[in-house]
Amino acid sequence: MSTSTSSTTPLLSLRGINKSFGAVHVLKGVDLDVWPGKVTALVGDNGAGKSTLIKGIAGIYSFDSGSYSFEGQQVEVTNPKQANALGIEVVYQDLALCDNLDVVQNLYLGREATSGVILDETTMERKATETLKGLSVRTLKSVRMKVSSLSGGQRQTVAIARAVLWNSKLVILDEPTAALGVAQTEQVLQLVRRLADAGLAVILISHNMNDVIRVADNVAALYLGQMAAQVPSESLSHGQIVELITAGRSGDLGLKAPDKEVVA
């Protein structure tokens, strides 16, 4: 866990978020706070609403109702460009990397630096190297390596580096350790922790409770479209997180138990 200090004011604050697709009510009055310098683990079973919530934060979907505040100001985010302008970057599970391009070209894909009408390869390579060095990435021999030659952990590292290259303030990571081996998972988790220690706000989506307990400062558990609880991870056990995910409550923590019907 991080020992660094961070702001007591959330960078991102959602209140009463609702989202429906036709007759299906996917998000139901969701509240969420994300702080700079902290890793917030967003957990929930398949169909709990995690992807919809993240895509709403990223501007891919528009929320139907509720308030969206960033850096203490209520904002309207209805497309990805608006989210990017705020400093929000998402690393999706498929990483969206181009195997035929090298690391530098992937980091700058669609946002290339130019000098007049010519690509400024020198500046891009220098900034790419600085970004990776700043993240303490030592597993890449060269920023000119083709992505096709990289391991799964190295690919994840490149995708995360691309997210932080653009002065981002909030980085959302969707299952960053899925399908990685033990050593590669360790490298990625260390990188996630370094992002928060550098002052960024991080949302980590994961089904791996060991990863969650290892790096998260707080846990936000979604259950059938509702936020069951958001609490500091140090106060939760592995079993309690699982209960919040599968039942929406654990003891006195979580959603209120439904009233029992009285049989006359």
| Amino acid, res. 240 | Q
Name the one residue in this structure whose structure tokens are 């702001």.
Answer: 7
Question: Could you tell me if 260 and 65 are in contact, meaning their C-beta atoms sit under 8 angstroms apart?
Answer: no
Question: Could you tell me if 177 and 189 are in contact, meaning their C-beta atoms sit under 8 angstroms apart?
Answer: yes
pLDDT of residue 258: 67
Q: What is the pLDDT of residues 117-172, one digit of tens each?
A: 899 999 999 999 999 988 888 888 899 999 999 999 899 999 999 998 888 999 99
Closest CA to 66 of 12, 25, 29, 11: 29
Q: Is 1 or 114 the better-scoring residue by pLDDT?
A: 114
Under the banding of pLDDT at 50, 70 and 90, the label for residue 93 is confident
pLDDT of residue 260: 56
Residue 2 pLDDT exceeds 80: no
Which tokens in the block code for residue 203?
């949302």
pLDDT of residue 3: 38
- Mean pLDDT rounded to a whole number for the chain: 91
User: Which distant-in-sequence residues (6+ apart) come within 8 Å of 9 by Cβ?
Assistant: 35, 72
Closest CA to 57 of 201, 177, 159: 201
Q: What's the rounded mean pLDDT across residues 19-46? A: 97
Strand ranges (E), the chain: 12-21, 24-34, 39-43, 65-70, 73-74, 88-91, 114-115, 118-119, 170-174, 201-205, 218-223, 226-232, 249-250, 253-254
- The CA distances from residue 187 to 80, 152, 192, 264, in Å, are 29, 11, 9, 60
| Rg over CA atoms, the chain | 19
Name the fold adopted by 12-95+168-254. Answer: Rossmann fold (3.40.50)
Q: Which residues pair with 30 in a beta bridge?
A: 17
Question: Could you tell me if 97 and 147 are in contact, meaning their C-beta atoms sit under 8 angstroms apart?
Answer: yes
Q: What is the pLDDT of residues 225-264, one digit of tens each?
A: 999 999 999 999 999 999 999 999 999 999 987 655 555 5
Q: What's the rounded mean pLDDT across residues 6-24? A: 91
Under the banding of pLDDT at 50, 70 and 90, the label for residue 96 is confident
Looking at the chain, the whole-number percentage of residues with pLDDT higher than 90 is: 77
Q: What's the rounded mean pLDDT across residues 196-205? A: 96
Residue 5 pLDDT exceeds 70: no
Q: What is the pLDDT of residues 36-50, one digit of tens each?
A: 999 999 999 999 999
Judged on CB neighbours under 10 Å (0-12, 13-18, 19+), 11 is buried
Residue 72 pLDDT exceeds 50: yes
| DSSP line for 20-40 | EETTEEEEEEEEEEE-TT-EE
Question: Could you tell me if 242 and 251 are in contact, meaning their C-beta atoms sit under 8 angstroms apart?
Answer: no
Domain range list for the chain? 12-95+168-254
Distance between CA atoms of 128 and 107, rounded to whole angstroms? Answer: 7
Residue 4 pLDDT exceeds 60: no
pLDDT of residue 7: 61
152: phi then psi, degrees, rounded to nearest 5: -60, -40
